Structures are given as C-alpha cells and as structure tokens.
Amino acid sequence: MAVGSAAAPESAPRAVAPNPYETASAPTGRTEIDRLVLAKLNKLGIQPANLCSDAVFVRRAYLDVIGTMPTGKEAMAFIKDESPNKREALIDVLLKRTEFTDYWTMRWDEALRVKAEFPINLWPNAVQAYHRWIFTALRDGMPYDKFARELLTANGSNFRVGPVNFYRAVQDKTPAGVAHAVAQTFLGERTEKWPKERLAGLAGFFSQIDYKATLEWKEEIVYYDPAMATNGLAKTAVFPDGKPALIAPDTDPRQVFADWLIGEKNPWFARVAVNRVWAWLMGRGIIHEPDDLRADNPPCNAELLAYLQKELIAAKWDLRHIYRLILTSDTYQLSSIAKTRSAAAEANFASYPLRRLEAEVLIDALNQITGTTEKYVSAIPEPFTFIPEDQRAIQLGDGSISSSFLEMFGRPARDTGLWSERVNKTTPDQTLHMLNSSHIQRKLEQSPKFQALMRNATAPREVIGGLYLMILSRLPTPQEIQAIAGYAQIEAPATAASATGKSGKSAKSGKSSKSSGKYRDPGKGREAALDIAWALINSQEFLYRH
Amino acid sequence: MNMNHTILSAGEMTRRAALQRTMLGAGGLMLGGALAPRARAAVKAAKAKAVIQIWMWGGPCHLDTFDPKPEAGNDFTGPLTKPIETNVPGIRICELLPLLAKQADKYSILRTMTHGINGHETASYMVQTGHKPGDGTVYPGVGAVVSYFKGYNGGYKGLIPPYLVMTKLQGRFAEAGFLGSRAKPFATGGDPSQNPFLVEGVVAQGITDKRQQSRRELLHHLNTLGLTMPDDPQVLEAAKSEQAAYDLILGDAGKVFDLSQEKDALREAYGRTRFGQSCLMARRLVERGVPYVTINYEGWDTHKGHFQEMRRKLPDLDKGMATLLQDLSDRGLLDSTIVWWGGEFGRTPRVQWDPPWNGGRNHFGKVFSHVVAGGGFKGGHAVGETTATGEEVKTRPIYVTDLITSMYDLLGIDCNAKLPHPQGLDVCVMKPETGVAGSNKLTEIM
C-alpha cells in the first residue's frame, strides 16, 4: 500500500492531536468503571490522559487480549473502519480467538507453577495434563468458582486428571506448604505474614492428601485418604476468617474448605480474581501486588474493586465478563501520554502505563513480523518432547521448556507463582541483544516476509508503509518519511564505496557488491529497508505496550 | 485511607527501586555507582577478588581425573591404569593430564566431596548453591551471590557484566534463584575459538562501526513514541540502557573479547578449542576486574563409551586448565583469583561393561573430586582420602557447604550477610544449619 494514500487516516477526524497516539478527547465517565476511576482522580486533582488513537487501540487490544500483534492487514482494516462501535466490536472478536485462551492459560500456568522440572518437578506428562486442563477450562468459559473447586478437590492420576497437579506444583507438600499455595492462589495472601495459628488452621484442611506411585514411571495418584484422619489435624482446621470448621468424619476436608472459599459471603475469593484480571490488563492491581492482600495494603480504589466483585458474582463467575467490562471502558483506552506524572497518578490509572512486552509476546511478535521461528528446549530432554518448529512462546505449557531469549527477557521461573517473578524491566543486555545480536540480525536478514514485501513493492514508499504496518501497526507520519528519505540519501555513497572494495571490513555475504550505487539500486534498497525494520523493532513504540 | 495507600505504594516503589539497583546482575551492566551500603559492609578485606569456575557439566569421573585407583583392577580403572606423578610428591593424577601434573603445586584436590545425590538437577542445584532443595526457597548460585557482593555493590565499575558465563547458561536450574532474572549471568553465546568471538549483542559480524552509528541515528529519528513522552520513566530507562549498550558495542570495553590481541603462542598453549579459548577469555576478564566467570564445559555425562570420551576430552581439559593456572600465576593474578573446578557429582567407580553402556559410568554423588586453586587456597595438597575403589569416603568428608563457605571467606563475603528477598524474607548468604554435618571449612588449605 502506498504511503501517500496511507497518510489519510492520520489526518482523519479523530486525530487532531499532533502525534499518532492520542485523540483530543478526554474520558467522560462513560462506564461505571470510568465514573469510579474519574471520581477518584478528581478527588486527588489528577488530570487523566486523553483517549488513545485507533492505531494505538488496535495494537494495544491485540497485545493485551490475545498476546499477539495485529497483522498489518488487521491493523489497517480496523483503522479504516468507520463504524462507531468498532472498539467494542474488536474486543468481542478478540475474546473469542484461540490466542485469548493461549495467552490467559499462560498467565494461569505462571500463577499455578506449571513446570516439569526443578524445583516444582511436575514431570512432562503431568505438565501436559495440567496445562491442557487449564486451557480447556478457560476456552470453555468454566465459571471461576467451579475452576477453583476442581483444583482444590480433584483426586486421581497426575497424568490423567489435570487439576490434581495443583497439590503437586508446590515446593513443600506438607499441609502447611499446601496451605501456603492455597492462600496465595485463592486468597491472594502470603502466609509468611500470617500468625502461625492462622496458617495451622488452614493447613488442617489439607492434612489428608496422600500421594502414591503406580507402575508407570513418575505417575502419581493424588487422593483424599480417610485413613490419615488419625493425624488429627483436620479437627484443628479453622477457616481463614477465624471460624472453626466442623468436618464430619469421612468427609474430605478439602471439600469443606472449597465450599467455604467459593461461598458468596467470602470476602476474598471474588476480590482476588477481579484484582488479578485488572492487574493483568492494566499493569498493576487495584490492590498491588495482586498476591499481597493484607490489611495494611488497602485498595487504591475500594469502590472500583467492590463494583468488579459484584459484577463477577452477578455474571455467575464468568471472568470474560470482567475482561470485557475493563477492556471497553475509557479507563482502559486512555493514552499512555500522561498529563500528570506522580506515584498517585500511576496508582490510580490516570494513563495507560508503558510496559515492555513480556518475553514470550516479544519473541512471538518478532517471529510474526519476520516470518521466522524459534527453537525451544528443555534442559532435561526426557521423555523426548516434540516441539514443532512454529511453536509460539505464549503456547508453551511447560515452564521448563525455554530459550535463552525468554530467560534474558525475564520469563518467570514459575518457582513461586508470584506476580513479582516476571520482570519486564529493560536492561542493557536485552538492549544489546535487540540492537546487535546475530539472533535478531538473522531474523531480519532472512525474513521471508520482508523479502516478499520488497519483491512485490513497486516503490520504496510501499516498502516503508508495509514495514510500519507490520511492525508498529500504523502508517508513518510525514516527519518519519522525511527522516527515512534522509537516511537513504546518506547511505548511498557509503554503500557505493563498499561496492568498489574500499570498505575493507565489509560483510562476507557480498550483498553490497551488487550495488551499483544508483539511487534505486535493489541491493542498497534492501539494506536500507532492513535498517529501517531494525530501527522500528528497536523503537520503544514496538518494544512496549503503549 | 487512599492517601495512605499512595504513600505506601510510593515507599514500596522506592524499596523496590533500591532493590533493583542493588541486584545488578547481567542486567546491571553500566548502572554502577549506586552502592548498597549493606552489601558493601558485608564484604571484608579479602585475598580473593574473583572466581573462575570451570563447571564440568554432567559430572566427571573422579577415578579418571584427580583420584586414580590403579590398584583397584580393571573393573574400576578400565584402560586408564597408569596414573602419573605430579610435581608434588605423593600426589598422582590421571595419565591423560600430564600438563596439570606439572601444575599440582598450584592447586589442591578435594577428593572426598560428597552429597549422595544422583540426579543432575538436584545435584547441580546443591553444588551450585550449597543448599538442599525443598524448603520452598530457591537460592541463588555462588556466581549470583559473589557478583551481588563484589559486582557493582562492591565497587566494580566495568562495562562488562560482573557475572558472565561462556558460552551458554547452565540451564538445569535458575542460577539467580530468588534474586530474580536480573541476577542471572550474561551468556556470551558464540565460540571463542572462532575469529571473531561473536559475543551475542556485543560483537556483530559484518556491521561496520560507521553503519552502527548511522543506524543509531536513524533509530533516534524514528523513535517517535519515545520523543513524544521523553519524561516517561520507562522511556528514560530504555534510553539509559541504550547508551550503556552502545558504550559496549562502540567503546573500548568490548575489546576484551578480541582474542586476536593475544600472542599466537599463548593461544596455542591454551588450545584452539572452545574450552581452551574460554580459559584464555576468563583470564582476560578477571584481569579487567570481572568478579565471576563461569566456563560451562559440557559433555562429561559419559554413560556410554566413557573411556573413548576421556581420551578425547581430557587432553583438552589438560591444556586449557594447566595453561590457565600458569598464565594466572605468571601475571600475578593467581593470588587473587580462585579457580574452582568440578561438576555436580562423580561417576560410578565400577565400570558398566555390558551393553548398552559398553564401558560407561553412571552418576555418583557419594564421592567425587573438586579442585581449587588460588585466591588464598594453598596448592599442592590432596584433602580427604577415599577407599581403595573410590566408592566411599575414608577420611574427612567434604560437604559442598564446606567448600562454598571457604570460598566466601576468602572472597570476604560474610555468610551471615542478608540477601535481598523479593518477599522480604529474612535470608542470609548461608544459613549455619545448612552444613550437613557441621560446617568444616577447608582450613587445611587456607
């Protein structure tokens, strides 16, 4: 697509602002979420950012909802669409995509520590069963209360009954160790900060879980063992709200706990769930961090949290409803260009926070743009696991299957399942890798997508427009086109020199030797195009959600 | 209440920011200067300034390296029946290590290492961290701990990351443990025996400095979002990171990886192999102040055809490690550099002759050898004695904690010093109770 015609959407009615990222409109309190957020911001005297542009929205929604970049075509179709409800319509479409399930399964895999090897040691077959169960539950919209109940009460083989692995995906399988994991997962609390008696009370519910081996290698049956009642611990079970539990003999104490947990009066259960979804989408929780709920870490906006809790229960524990509420709010659609910079503004969602793409999303995006693939391996290759060549990182079920790129860019180890395990901070070694590694350089140089783009383009402008759409999901601004034109001019003599052999250190690939130094020379054009692609993938606009 | 939260979260951010500033692993690169007073205080005046760890990935056999048992018979020795005398009377080592035999006065052999674990991952974790797994906390490895105290917190100011591994991550457990991904080592990638050594991200093939510079300018012109919101903290951080990266790409610091600056004769002496040149690279790095360098030496998990593998691999080990010791010593660096050789365990002293092993050795955590040199460790000793077949410890069991706490001592790292735990748990470098049978530092050789 030619850049000339493509510039049109930039100057379309919405884009009054002088940058491609924001509109001139301020949020108006369109939804209940917006009214609650704006009320709080008003009270604090903080001015929220303007609403984001369509180009920003389409990219943001894809990345946030399905962990996947829009293709150039998808981005353009959305930007050109003139229907007034197109943003809501897009959210609805995205919530139905398979990648939505992939991406949110990845999040749950993290929280639940789905990992074959040390220190969790689920074992590959069990990881597959567990991951598959989570995936299926999310895909089919299993209500969240049922999801929790199944995780807490399942019995059976770790290879066949996915959710029993909840009780295996812990580093400490004692009743207290399991109680710690239960509190972290479903109450969002850290038992390190609890009085000892409270932990002991919760541990009582998990005092009759037994594990036994079968004849199959590493198969393990996890089950409720009535005979373990003799340890007497179930009798000491106390709910986290301080009420002692009455557990009838021959009753699985886990059932009693699960019933209490998912009961509508339980103050924790829904709160933790909606806060987690909010944090996943907005970059920080209404209570932050989302697994550190405690009396002295109150929500920044209690009314907002209460509203979402109520909505989850009213929607019969359908978490997709919460996603939709958040994603279609103006609060979610604020630009990342903040009008106020302060800790309070950040904590109260006055703008969309810039966040570096997660390791998995970033490498998938690079692969998508360039049309290349990545190799993933487990340090323990047994039993042999076939990993397809076009494996996407967000679909990796096993935390033990990884790549050096994922490790470098802060993929969580899944050792603890805590929010803080994922580190999206930009570090110089990551920057070095993006700027200058053979890994990234190879992807650019060998990209079949770029080659096709260059082959099919009739003018350099088409190449530039195509690269912008593929990489940044928008078209270049006039200033950017100018800068690129300038770059091509500057590069022309240098390339001509290398073609005549004056540049001794030049590549052995010999690609520059084709150059005749002419302005429209294909070899030179190729190098310039690759440099532009290189610059765009190293821009903050590509590397960060914005 | 809400205002309270604001204050709290600001405090939380400051605390975290401080934590991150002190956890300068590979990611830290150039963010030096921000000192953590606590980490500083934990490092006392020390003999050792750096560690070169030769990690024998897979577990080398003690009988075929530093604890030969020629009298034990063919089922134990296999064809390696003629150990050689070293330059230290009374100490013999494997016949395939003649060059190391001439350096025995520089190192001490720890012949009675023991932990009893035969699984790679658990044993690796144990040997690398000094902790037993399973208490719910995943501890950082020695490299992450040393670079935490002796890296940017300890006054190191170099552009090269303070914890570096050649050429691949060890991978069987997270080296950084609870310190998080930022405390991981920088993995060089590439192969130092190739010219140039393509250190991933630092040295790129076929891109001239001029093109680097013009590309960088282009990037700055096209970074529209960054230019639109230059005051965003993430944008600022990215800019700092980019500056740091280019200091390495275009500046002088990256030249440390240019092995062509070394004399050919020396490069030959080290051996023109991945391992040999990694040893040379390690010397160049500690020379420039890098506190922890790991050489991840793969291929020692020899279940099958063990003796053929030993004939192929031991000469490579011999050349590289012997030259490293000599070279460090010649340059006066051995006194301040600990060289630590060893893997996660040893291998079964009794050879498995039957198929499919055909002369193989299995995992053996009950007895294995490690070697230490320099940095305050005395050379010329063999600590501990094993039984006639090398299957049992006879005298002086050495636990991993004994070794690691000894190294920390020489490095001036206080085992009671606190490590920053992301959930605020009270964790010190080495709990006293982790010493399996009471911690017995290697006072014999310190």
Structural domain contains residue A466: yes
Residue A9 has pLDDT above 50, yes or no: no
Residues β-bridged to residue B84: B93
Residue A498 has pLDDT above 50, yes or no: no
B403, B127 contact by CB (below 8 A): no
Residues of A in contact with B55 (CB under 8 A): none
Q: Give Cα separations from A25 to A253, A333, A339, B251, B342 (angstroms).
A: 55, 11, 13, 46, 65
Could you tell me if A502 lies within 8 Å of chain B, comparing CB atoms? no
Per-residue pLDDT reduced to its tens digit, B62-95: 999 999 999 999 999 999 999 999 999 999 999 9
Structural domain contains residue B436: yes
* pLDDT > 70 fraction of chain A, expressed in percent and rounded: 90
DSSP A371-436: T-----EESS--S-----TT--GGG---TTEE-HHHHHTT----SS--GGG------HHHHHHHHH
Least CB–CB distance from B232: residue in A20, A354, A429: A354
* pLDDT > 90 fraction of chain B, expressed in percent and rounded: 71
A233 and A278 belong to one structural domain: no
Quickly count: other Cβ atoms within 10 Å of residue A426's Cβ: 24
Separation in Å, CA of A507 to nearest CA in chain B: 4
Average pLDDT score over residue span B196-213: 89
State both tokens at A298: 């109150």
Question: Are A354 and B10 an interchain contact pair (Cβ–Cβ within 8 Å)?
Answer: no
Rounded CA-CA distance A179/A160 in Å is 24
Per-residue pLDDT, A486: 84
Structural domain contains residue A281: yes
Q: Which residues of A507-523 are buried (b: 16+ CB within 10 A; e: fewer)?
A: beeebbeebebeeebeb
Strands (E), B279-430: 292-297, 337-342, 346-347, 363-364, 368-373, 381-383, 385-386, 393-395, 418-419, 427-428
Nearest of A315, A271, A313 to residue A291 by alpha carbon: A271
- Give residue B399's domain range: 22-197+258-445
Is the peptide bond prior to B356 cis by the omega test (within 30 degrees of 0)?
A: yes
What residue of A is the nearest CA neighbor of B174?
A413
CA A225 to the chain's CA centroid: 38
State both tokens at A5: 């015609």
A15, A53 contact by CB (below 8 A): yes
Residue B20 has pLDDT above 70, yes or no: no
Least CB–CB distance from B225: residue in A180, A427, A539: A539
Per-residue pLDDT, A108: 98
Nearest of A120, A100, A131, A262 to residue A181 by alpha carbon: A120
Question: Are A429 and B4 an interchain contact pair (Cβ–Cβ within 8 Å)?
Answer: no
Question: Are A535 and B27 an interchain contact pair (Cβ–Cβ within 8 Å)?
Answer: no
- Give residue A225's domain range: 143-262
Average pLDDT score over residue span A118-130: 92
Residues of A in contact with B182 (CB under 8 A): 410, 423, 425, 427
Residue A518 has pLDDT above 60, yes or no: no
A250 and A278 belong to one structural domain: no
Structural domain contains residue B434: yes
Q: How many domains does chain A have?
A: 3
A309 and A258 belong to one structural domain: no
A243 and A292 belong to one structural domain: no
* pLDDT > 70 fraction of chain B, expressed in percent and rounded: 88
Structural domain contains residue B326: yes
Structural domain contains residue B68: yes
Is ipTM beyond 0.90? no
Structural domain contains residue A14: yes
Could you tell me if A427 lies within 8 Å of chain B, comparing CB atoms? yes
Structural domain contains residue A134: no
Query: What is the average pLDDT score of chain A?
Result: 89
| CATH classification of the domain holding B179 | 3.40.720.10
Rounded CA-CA distance A143/A369 in Å is 36
Per-residue pLDDT, B25: 36
Rounded CA-CA distance A11/A409 in Å is 37
Structural domain contains residue A415: no
Separation in Å, CA of A493 to nearest CA in chain B: 12
Residues of A in contact with B223 (CB under 8 A): 535, 539-541
Question: Are A118 and B229 an interchain contact pair (Cβ–Cβ within 8 Å)?
Answer: no
Per-residue pLDDT reduced to its tens digit, A215-269: 998 999 999 999 999 999 999 999 999 999 999 989 999 999 999 999 978 888 9
* Helix, strand or coil, per DSSP, at residue A214: coil
Could you tell me if A379 lies within 8 Å of chain B, comparing CB atoms? yes
Least CB–CB distance from A438: residue in B138, B184, B204: B204
Residue from A110, A303, A436 to probe the interface with B (highest B Cβ count within 10 Å): A436
Quickly count: other Cβ atoms within 10 Å of residue A500's Cβ: 10
A334, A50 contact by CB (below 8 A): yes
A147 and A223 belong to one structural domain: yes
What is the separation, in whole angstroms, between the first and last Cα of chain A? 25
Per-residue pLDDT reduced to its tens digit, B402-441: 999 999 999 999 999 999 987 778 889 987 554 444 568 9
Residue A211 has pLDDT above 60, yes or no: yes
Nearest of B445, B444, B166, B179 to residue B320 by alpha carbon: B166
Per-residue pLDDT reduced to its tens digit, B34-60: 334 455 556 667 899 999 999 999 999
Residue from A376, A431, A498, A509 to probe the interface with B (highest B Cβ count within 10 Å): A431
A185 and A251 belong to one structural domain: yes
Separation in Å, CA of A249 to nearest CA in chain B: 32
Per-residue pLDDT, A523: 65
Question: Are B223 and A540 an interchain contact pair (Cβ–Cβ within 8 Å)?
Answer: yes
Q: Which residues make Cβ contacts (< 8 Å) with residue A525, sequence separation at least 6?
A: A454, A460, A463
Separation in Å, CA of A248 to nearest CA in chain B: 32
Question: Are A540 and B4 an interchain contact pair (Cβ–Cβ within 8 Å)?
Answer: no
CB pairs under 8 A between A and B: 247
B166, B293 contact by CB (below 8 A): yes
Average pLDDT score over residue span B140-157: 91
A216 and A275 belong to one structural domain: no
Determine what percent of chain B falls in helix, strand and coil, rounding each to the nearest 5.
40, 15, 45
Per-residue pLDDT, A2: 37
Question: Are A297 and B232 an interchain contact pair (Cβ–Cβ within 8 Å)?
Answer: no
Average pLDDT score over residue span A143-158: 98
DSSP B170-208: --SS-TTGGG-GGGSPEE--S-TTSSS---TTTS-TT--
| Candidate from A440-454, B31-45, B190-204, B278-292 with smallest mean pLDDT | B31-45
Listed residues A356, A385, A400: the one ending a domain:
A356
Per-residue pLDDT, A525: 81
A247 and A339 belong to one structural domain: no
Least CB–CB distance from A337: residue in B181, B228, B422: B228
A275 and A255 belong to one structural domain: no
The pLDDT confidence band at residue B158, using thresholds 50, 70 and 90, is confident
Quickly count: other Cβ atoms within 10 Å of residue B87's Cβ: 13
Structural domain contains residue A393: no
Structural domain contains residue A416: no
Query: What is the average pLDDT score of chain B?
Result: 87
Quickly count: other Cβ atoms within 10 Å of residue A32's Cβ: 15
Residue A189 has pLDDT above 60, yes or no: yes
Per-residue pLDDT, A10: 35
Rounded CA-CA distance A360/A392 in Å is 8
CB < 8 Å from B in window 131-150 of A: none
Residue A515 has pLDDT above 60, yes or no: no
The letter for the amino acid at B281 is M
Q: Which residue has the tokens 């590069």?
A: A491
What residue of A is the nearest CA neighbor of B164?
A429
The letter for the amino acid at A350 is A
Question: Are B9 and A508 an interchain contact pair (Cβ–Cβ within 8 Å)?
Answer: no
The pLDDT confidence band at residue A11, using thresholds 50, 70 and 90, is very low
Q: How many domains does chain B have?
A: 1
Could you tell me if A336 lies within 8 Å of chain B, comparing CB atoms? yes
Least CB–CB distance from B226: residue in A415, A433, A540: A540
A466 and A529 belong to one structural domain: yes
Question: Are B161 and A544 an interchain contact pair (Cβ–Cβ within 8 Å)?
Answer: no
Rounded CA-CA distance B338/A522 in Å is 55
What residue of A is the nearest CA neighbor of B209?
A505
Average pLDDT score over residue span A321-340: 97
Listed residues A356, A376, A408: the one ending a domain:
A356
Listed residues A227, A262, A297: the one ending a domain:
A262
Per-residue pLDDT, A517: 34
Nearest of B336, B23, B405, B292 to residue B179 by alpha carbon: B23
Residue A117 has pLDDT above 90, yes or no: no
Per-residue pLDDT, B31: 36
